[in-house]
Copies of this chain bind each other. A is one copy, B any other.
Amino acid sequence: MTPGALRDFYDGYIACLNARDWTALGDFVHEAVRYNEEEVGLAGYRAMLERDVLDIPDLSFRVEWLACEPPLVAARLAFDCTPLGDLFGLPVDGRRVRFHENVFYRIDESRIADVRSIIDRAAVAAQVGALYRVA
C-alpha cells in the first residue's frame, strides 16, 4: 500500500471503531493479530475493544498525528471521555479525563497484524489525583 492508501485504510479502521461496527473489524484486523507482543488474535482484539466500550460508553478515537510509511502506520490518538468506573485500575468513576495513546501498527496482508501501543496512564492518574498501582 502507498502512504495515501494506508491513510485511507486507517481512516476506515478508526471509523469502524467509532461506529462500534465489530462485525467489520476483520476487514481491518488480521486473524493472528499481536498486541504488545502477545498474540491475541482477532477474537481477543475484538473482546478488548468491546470491554473498552463497556467501560467507556462515550469512547471515541480521534487521530491527532498520523505518519504512514508502508508497512507501518503510527498514530497519536487523543481521548476525551468519562469512564464509568475504573480505568487502568484508576478510580475515574464518571469524571472526564483526557489522555493520549501513541500507537504503531504493522500492516500485513492488508490487515493490522502487529500493534505496539503505549497509553499515557500517568496523565489519567494525575487527573484523578490517584496513585497508579501496577501489577
Give the distance in Å from the alpha carbon of A116 to the alpha carbon of B132 in the complex: 22
Interface size class of A (residues with CB under 8 A): 20 to 34
Beta-carbon nearest neighbor of A128 in chain B: B134
CB distance from A64 to the nearest CB of B (A): 8
Q: Does A3 contact B (CB under 8 A)?
A: yes
Give the distance in Å from the alpha carbon of A61 to the alpha carbon of B102 in the complex: 18
One of A16-24, A46-54, A70-78 at the interface: A70-78
- The 8 A CB mask of A58-85 against B (1 = contact, 0 = none) is 0000001111110011101000000000
Give the interface of A toward B (CB within 8 A). Answer: 3, 64-69, 72-74, 76, 100-104, 106, 116-122, 125-126, 129-135
